[in-house]
Structure 1
Amino acid sequence: MKSNKFVETMLSLMFLHGIYLSIFCGMEFIVVPATYLTLAYGIFKRSKVARYLTLIVLLLHLLINISTLGFVYFPVSSDKLIGASQVFEVEFDHVRFLAEIIPPTIIASVLFIFLMLPKVVRGYRNNA
């Protein structure tokens, strides 16, 4: 099914992004590629549970990324925190930060919307 291939491809991109985060940002991000690889395998096997788990994980991913953007660029108390300079241990790089946050946020939102489409839901019901 074409929709399965699209979902698998997008989840694979999220998996690759998780590998990048694990290598360049710290091994505490290893849960990201493990999660997306597991979800991609579940979608490949046409599991309804994997589809719903994927929706939940993508929603959490979107909420975390949006709140991270808000926290870094619009801190709650501007007199105590001056942007991201107080948040990160190393010197803050705006370009790298946006490159690490914006693409997976876009992929997650497209994938979330795609999985919510009724046609895809019907396809899962018919093929399961």
Structure 2
Amino acid sequence: MQLRDDVNTETALNATFAALADPTRRAMLERLAQGPASINTLAAPFALSLPTVSRHLKVLEAAGLVAKARAAQFRLCRLEVAPLQSAGDWIGQYRDFFSDRFDRLEAQLKQNLQTAPDNPVPVAQ
């Protein structure tokens, strides 16, 4: 079942990154990080129709980033953090890789500066 888990994880990551690719959806998630909000509250900062806002929310829901619940006559949306944590874990693998590379580059540059002649060749502008 490892292959199925890998496929499910990849599908979930693809949906998360696709949802995060849009600045409007990222702004909605930023708002939801402060706490649950109604659809009208989420729509307020944007010059978008409610159906357009609804489509953005459906993408976020499909990615598992947002959950909706009824509260009286309102539909409240809340942030679901698990997909963001999974995306962060995936990115973290590469953060470690690049951090190591930058550390080695810094060491090489320091070594080059220590062994450089006193009168370096001027760099052309």
TM-score, length of structure 1 as denominator length: 0.31
Bigger fraction of residues in helix: 1
Bigger fraction of residues in strand: 2
TM-score, length of structure 2 as denominator length: 0.31
